[in-house]
Amino acid sequence: MSILERADLLGARRVVVKVGSSSISGENAEKIGPIVEALAAAHARGTEVVLVSSGAIATGMPYLALDERPVDLATQQAAAAVGQNVLIYRYQDALRSFAIVAGQVLLTAGDLENTTHRSNARRAMERLLGLRILPIVNENDTVATHEIRFGDNDRLAALVAELIGADALVLLSDIECLYTMPPNEPGARPIETVAFGEDLSAFQFGSVVVNSVGTGGAATKVSAARLAAAAGIGVLVTSADLVSDALAGAQIGTWFAPDTSVVPSSHTGTTRTSVAAS
């Protein structure tokens, strides 16, 4: 089905949900429970759900006695190796009461640029979804380098959504919606809907934010949303605290309308030209 409006999320066939490090690590680790509950409710309705979850490095930091996100690649890789294991355990522990099994999928940018690897990744996730497994996707930080990274998991989520022909992408943030300028500044107005191809140059989304646990910000979400929308996928940007309402089609967040002239690849059964290299 085509997801043209937020309300259509309630009956979506396939949805990718992305959650950031700050929403599920440190003192917010307990938020994994409510997020999983919302995903499980969508799963019970018959929606195929893929979760793109940041947080491996942030989750691993306390185990390496680190107070701040490491800047050197080797320590980032070490923290990711430890944290990814703990992160998946926390998700699976929360999913257990819903009788849902998680499947870990770790990707690098090269995996989506190489034709064979890309095909393998798609086939694996299609099979997981066919088995009613909930794929949990993250960048493979343990082997990724600074030169070949997605840059942020918002972009990874958009590319995964395109890869599997998702109907919609939900990007979870720390705020309910995007604003015309940073929300703490006078005159900032919420953005309810962005039409496909709409000029956003007058808005101030700011640069990428790097905090103590991860990377991201409004600018990366706008970029990822426009990437997915160009692939025919509607995108909702909203707060992680509102994930249940988001998946139920509530009138919340910022909705990026998709290019209606493009049909997501899995709807046609064919492989379209990848947006990974765009």
Does the annotation place 72 within a ligand binding site? no
Neighbours of 145 (CB within 10 A): 11
Within 8 A by CB and 6+ apart from 275, the residues are 158, 159, 162, 227, 230, 231
18 is known to lie in a ligand binding site:
yes
User: Is 174 known as a binding-site position?
Assistant: yes
Q: Cα dist. 237→47, 129, 169, 179 in Å?
A: 19, 24, 9, 11
Instruction: Give the pairing type, strands 134-139 and 215-216.
Output: unpaired
Closest CA to 171 of 216, 118, 115, 123: 216
Give the chain's end-to-end CA distance (angstroms, integer): 26
Q: Is 221 annotated as a binding residue?
A: no
Sequence ranges of the binding site:
18, 54, 141, 153, 173-174
Sequence ranges of the binding site for ATP:
18, 173-174
Sequence ranges of the binding site for substrate:
54, 141, 153
